Amino acid sequence: MPNLKIFSCRGNLPLAEKIAKNLGIPLGKLEIKNFSDGEIWVKFLDNIRGSDVYIIQPTNPPAENIMELLIAIDAARRASANKVNLVIPYFGYARQDRKDQPRVAITAKLIANILAKSGTDRIITMDLHAPQIQGFFDIPFDHIYSSAIMVDHFRKKKIPNLVVVSPDVGGINMARAYAKRLNAEICLIDKRRPKPNEVEVMNVIGDVKGKNVLIVDDIIDTAGTFTSAIRALKENGAKDIYGACTHAILSGSAYEKIESSSLKKLVVTDSIPLKQKSNKIEVITITKIFAKAIQRTFENKSISTLFDVFKS
C-alpha cells in the first residue's frame, strides 16, 4: 500500500503547511535552489519510492512557479513515486482558453499539455477561470469550488436585502450558485474589454437600487473589472457593496484601487499569498477543502461532496 506524502514548491508555502497540519502529517522536505543565473534545481530530501506524492503549487506568474512545478514532477517521477498528484490552488494562464483572435496561443491547453507530458497522474484545482478547461486534460482532474466556504462566510454575516452580482457574463454560473444558496436575487454587469486588462463599458442589468450587493468573481487581477463594477453599482443606487473572489492576483495598482473604492469588504481565499495587507481585504482559508480532497483522493474515496455546490 503506497503512503501519502505532501510537498510544496515555493509558490504558496503557508497554505501547504496548513494543509499538511490539517492532515496531521509533516510537510515533506523538498529542497529548491537557484543557480546564479536563476536556473531552478529541485531535490526530494525524503525517500518517495512507491509513495503517492502530492505537490502543492499555484501556477500564477512569475513563470518560475510553473517551472519549479515541472522540475519537481520530473524529480518525483525519477525518484520512483507511485503517483504524482498536483494540487494547484490557482491554475494560472487559464484566461487564454480559446483563439479569440488570429495568431494567439491557447495557454490553458499549452499548460495542460506540459503538465501531463511531465508525468502528472492527477490534478486537483479550484475555481478554474472556465470549467471546460478540464477537457484539455486526459488525466484525472478534480475541480473543486471555493463557494462552499465563501457562501458559509456570507451566510453568517446575515446581510439583508442582498443581490449577488456577476461583473461579467462569464461569471453568471458562479453568481447563480451564490445567489441560490444565499437566498438572494441576481444581477449581471455587461462588461466590454477593448484589450486585456482594460475595462470600458459597464451596464448593470437588474435592479440594485437600495440593495446590498455581493460581487462574485473567480479572479481579481488589476481590479479594473471589480472597481468599475463598484462604481457602476453605486451609480445605480446600490447600498453596501461586498466582494467575494477566489484568486486574489492583485497586480499593478489593484490594492490602491480597492482601498480607494467605496467597497465595504472584499473576501478572498489564500490560493495565492497576498502581496500586502489591506483593511478592505479579508482572507479565508481553503485549507480544509484541499486537505479533504487530498485525503479522500488518496483513499480512493469520492470527493463529489466537495463540488456539490454547483448542482441545482
Contacting ligand R5P within 210-239 (CB under 6 A): 217-226
Q: Choose, by CB under 6 A, the member of 81, 168, 267, 289 that binds ligand R5P.
A: 168
Return the range that interacts with ligand R5P (CB under 6 A); candidates 57-65, 105-113, 165-173, 231-239: 165-173
CB of 232 to ligand R5P, least distance (A): 13
- Active-site option among 18, 83, 191, 292: 191
CA torsion sign for 280, 261, 193, 202 is positive
Size, binding site for ligand R5P by CB under 6 A: 16
Distance CA 22, CA 290 (A): 10
Active site residue 156: no
CB of 295 to ligand R5P, least distance (A): 30
Element (H, E) at 226: helix 224-235
Please identify, using beta-carbon distances, which residue of 291 and 309 lies nearer to ligand R5P: 309
Please identify, using beta-carbon distances, which residue of 27 and 165 lies nearer to ligand R5P: 165
Residues 210-239 as b/e (b if ≥16 CB within 10 A, e otherwise) read: ebbbbbbbbbbbbbbbbbbbbebbbebebb
Distance CA 291, CA 21 (A): 9
Q: Is 147 in the site for ligand R5P (CB under 6 A)?
A: no
Q: Choose, by CB under 6 A, the member of 7, 167, 241, 244 that binds ligand R5P.
A: 167
Q: How far is CA 265 from CA 149, 209, 240, 242, 277, in A?
A: 16, 19, 9, 5, 13
Please identify, using beta-carbon distances, which residue of 51 and 222 lies nearer to ligand R5P: 222
Torsion of CA 306, 183, 265, 236, to 10 degrees: 140
Q: Is 68 in the site for ligand R5P (CB under 6 A)?
A: no
Distance CA 250, CA 101 (A): 26
Please identify, using beta-carbon distances, which residue of 251 and 295 lies nearer to ligand R5P: 251
Q: Is the Cβ–Cβ distance between 49 and 94 less than 8 Å? A: no
CB of 170 to ligand R5P, least distance (A): 5
Q: Which residues are catalytic?
A: 191
Binding site for ligand R5P (CB under 6 A): 167-168, 170-171, 197, 199, 217-226
